[in-house]
Structure 1
Amino acid sequence: MGPRILTSLAARRFFRCAHGRWAAVASCTCCVSLLSMAATQAVELGFAQESESWRLVSSQFPSKAGGRPAWLGEEGMPGPADLQCGVCQKPAAFLLQVYAPCPGCFHRTVFVFCCRDPTCHREGESRCFRVFRNQLPRKNDTYPYSPPPEAAPAGEQGRPSPELRCGARLCRVCGCLGPKQCSKCHQASYCSKEHQLLDWKAQHKKLCGGTQPEAPIPDHGFLFPEYEIVTEPEELESEDQEEDDVEEPEQAACMPGQTSTDVSLTLDAQDLESMARHESEEDMAFNRFKKRIGAEPEQVLRYCRGGQALWMSARNVPSGANIPDCQCGSKRIFEFQIMPQLLNHLRVDSLGDSIDWGTLSVFTCTRNCDAEKRYVEEFLWKQDVVESAK
């Protein structure tokens, strides 16, 4: 595997080309071939990587997992009611965002949130996830027309501001809209009573109404660990390599005094018919999944707008009828999936119930409707890990 590219080359409107320059789509003639991936529905793989905090703020248009969301537009942001878990109605935590411009949308980001309560992640339950899309034209009131700087601005600490340019304040705990304020100091903002209580216990009880300098926001135990998501094109094995992979187990099965032909005949007579009878569709689906991700087992994201998801199981695969149309009436198409490997980075394992999934597939509006003045909710399909695939 070659060196990781720090931004998505196939999906982004602004990209850092192979020569390290920021450019707009098709403006770097020496790198135009990279853009052909989008037209051929090639898959881009995402990997979680630790990064400097200044790279993960809104003005850098990051793809990232964990931490607080790096909001794109400041108009029509989802409020506390929009970001509640559909099962327990508690505030959902920011899981991941993907910066993914496409034709007609210069800046475009898709945000995914999920409930922190493992009991809400039972099999077949996807209401514990919320997905929102937002986009902006290149000329807008929030960001400069030119590409973002490639170095940290002087004095930049990389911490998200508790207040947006438009004047809206964000929750100190989760980084989402915080319409509630501390009734004593009127300085700290929150999305809910739950988060106000978390912050009171962690820090605000000591600072409220005092004259101490503002301290860094503490770890409330609510956010997931923060990573940048870096991408590179998926490289598929050639047919010759695949044939070699199939032949290796037969060669390894040779006993002393046997030839590979003898073994093949033995398998034909004794095992092949039985294997074909007992190997279920479920086994084949999981084996395809394992083989496809085997070359890059650390991938946490697969991006291919308009392509197909890679399903872990033959069960619970959605049909067209299972994917609801967008609120504008347009069909939704597959855009990206979040892989189970991301769970290894989120520190959610416990002795009891844990957050878990097989794969999370996000479907978005085919025509990218009405998301420049507000955040539009999209659709997520959760496929669970079945017993035979564990």
Structure 2
Amino acid sequence: MASLVEPVPLLGLCDGELDPKRYRSSFQTNKVGGLPDWLPLISRPRPSCGLCGAPSALIAQVYCPLQAAAAHHRNLHLFACSRGTCSGRPESWTALRSQSLKAEVAAARGPSRPPTKQEPSPAATDWCEQADDWGAEEVQEEVREDEESSQSEDCPPACEMLFSSHMQTLSLEEETEVHIFRPLFISVVEESELYEDEEDLEHAKELLREYEKKEGAVMAELEESGGGAAENYEKSSAKHGDAVFSRFMKTISWCPQQVLRYCRGGRPLFISSPPPSMPQAVPRCSSCGGSRTFELQLMPALVSLLQRTEQATGAELEFGTVLVYTCTSSCWTPGSKLAVEEFCFVQADPDQQLFQ
């Protein structure tokens, strides 16, 4: 039976530059930009733009194990084409989900370090269902220190050779083809922590409920009326602004710097009106044929932080929000080395239309 408790949104905030000279990121690192870190057993895919065919750049990497599958490591990698002609169009985005059994990853890594120096692994409840801390700062700091100190002692020779070979391949092939964005750490805070106290939180929720009820009544009246009502609604919208966009701005006003919003199984935050057939617009899982559920979305504040590491000309990536829907059961074939492609729903920033 599905839980009646609304999942608590977790907000991702950029937390400083991930300097590759000081830190070596891993698949457990939450970050923006840089090069993707894959689970050891996963074949390294090279996603490309569905419009122009150019190699896609990594936009965000999220480590997000599920409580229901605590024995698995689980990642989401989001890629996009940074060419101006493709930017903002859904065909230029790719979301890949990968999973591996923790026991298999441990075996692939080889002999571990002494127990006192083991790399901390975030608990499943730190991330998704019933999460209360999506990226504890103390854990993140320990991971950074461990990643830095373990560059020479943590990996066996075979692992070091593989890593070195991979980096050489990337430097010779990928960096000449893919636009790489400056890597940044992502730290996470529970949305409710942004309110000063419970009274503020309840007051904010009540205001939002009243607002949604009011706007819902307007939309219902619009749907029941004919074209004349639509024309009147367009005129009123021009006066007070788009209702959906207004709700979006009200919701993020407590933390406008959020770059990522995670709420698996919760309600997405649309920046503009979604199509009436939104449930049908989300295709079923390409792997198992099951339904998909909303998991996370990228937010407008991320756009200004996406800075290329190389000298490149042309338009930067632009979007309003990118919603990612993943397999409800997070299906996975044991021993599989292939990442599963999930669904991205892209909405442009409404303000961009003013300049077109």
After TM superposition, the score normalised by the length of structure 2 is 0.66
Q: What whole-Å deviation, never above 9, does each CA across 1:31-81 have from its counterpart, x for those lacking one?
A: xxxxxx99641100000111554655216x111111111212333332x3x
From 12, 26, 29, give the equivalent of 1:46.
12
1:344 positional shift: 1.3
The letter for the 2-side match of 1:63 is N
Instruction: Find the counterpart in structure 2 of residue 362 from structure 1.
Output: 324
2:104 pairs with 1:136: no
Residue 119 of structure 2 is matched in structure 1 by 148
Pick from 58, 73, 77: which aligns with 1:94? 58
Given that 2:34 and 2:180 are in contact with CA atoms closer than 8 Å, whether structure 1 keeps it comes out as yes
CA drift of 1:118 comes to 1.5
Amino acid at match of 1:336: L
Pairs within 5 Å for 1:195-214: 195=175, 198=176
Q: 1:58 aligns with which of 2, 26, 35?
A: 26
CA distance in 2, matches of 1:320, 1:108: 25
Deviation at 1:89, TM superposition (A): 0.6
Distance in 2 (CA, whole Å) between partners of 1:44 and 1:315 is: 22
* CA positional deviation for 1:244: 9.0
Summarize the alignment of residues 305-324 of structure 1 with structure 2, pairs less than 5 Å apart: 305-316=264-275, 319-324=278-283
Q: Specify the alignment match of 1:382 in structure 2.
A: 346
CA distance in structure 1 between the partners assigned to 2:353 and 2:341 by the alignment: 31
Alignment of 1:190 with 2:173, yes or no, is yes
Counterpart CA distance in 1 for 2:333 and 2:296 is 18
Provide, for residues 307-348 of structure 1, a one-character-per-residue CA deviation record: whole Å limited to 9, x for no partner: 111011114576111111112111111000000110111137
After superposition, the Cα gap between the structure-2 partners of 1:313 and 1:94, relative to the gap in structure 1 and judged at 3 Å, is: same
In structure 2, the CA distance between the partners of 1:363 and 1:317, relative to structure 1 (3 Å rule), is: farther
Inter-partner Cα distance in structure 2 for 1:154 and 1:361: 33
Q: State whether structure 2 residue 250 is matched by structure 1 residue 279.
A: no
How many residue pairs end up in the alignment? 277
C-alpha contact 2:23 2:148 (8 A) present in aligned 1: no
Deviation string 1:109-164 (CA, Å, 9 cap, x unpaired) is: 10011112121125xx2111111111122212235597615233675569xx9x96
Closer/same/farther in 2, CA of residues 56 and 337 from structure 1, 3 Å limit: farther
Structure of larger gyration radius: 1
CA separation of 1:316 and 1:367: change in aligned 2, threshold 3 A: same
Paired position in structure 1 for 2:201: 238
> Matched residues in 1 for 2:324 and 2:84: separation?
21
Structure 1: how far apart are the matches of 2:352 and 2:318? 16
Q: Counterparts of 1:154 and 1:307 in 2: how far apart (Å)?
A: 36
Gaps of 5+ in 1: 1-36, 176-187, 200-220, 246-273
- Contact (CA 8 Å) 2:24, 2:147: kept in 1 or not? no
Contact 1:313 1:389 in 2 (8 A): no
Alignment partner of 1:344 is 2:304: yes
Cross-structure match for 2:79:
113
Does the CA contact (< 8 Å) of 1:135 and 1:371 recur in 2? no
Distance, in Å, in 2 between the alignment partners of 1:337 and 1:48 is 15
Within 2, Cα distance between the matches of 1:154 and 1:240? 45
Measure the CA separation in 2 of the matches of 1:64 and 1:38.
31
Alpha-carbon distance between aligned partners in 2 of 1:47 and 1:154, rounded to the nearest angstrom: 22
Question: Which structure exhibits the higher relative contact order, with contacts defined as CA atoms closer than 8 Å and separated by 6 or more residues?
Answer: 2
Once the two structures are superposed, residues 152-182 of structure 1 have per-residue CA deviations (whole angstroms, 9 ceiling, x without a partner) of 3675569xx9x96795853658x4xxxxxxx
Calculate the aligned-residue CA RMSD, in Å: 3.8
TM-score (norm 1): 0.61
1:265 alignment partner in structure 2: none
Structure 1 residues 38 and 71, CA, compared in 2 at 3 Å: closer, same or farther?
farther
Partner of 1:301: 260
**In the alignment, structure 1 residue 75 sits paired with structure 2 residue 42:** yes
Tell me, what secondary structure is at the counterpart of 2:245?
A: helix
Question: Would you say the 8 A contact 1:283–1:389 is kept in 2?
Answer: no
Richer in helix (by share): 2
In 1, Cα distance between the equivalents of 2:160 and 2:277? 41
**Structure 1 residues 52, 38: closer, same or farther in 2, change over 3 A?**
farther
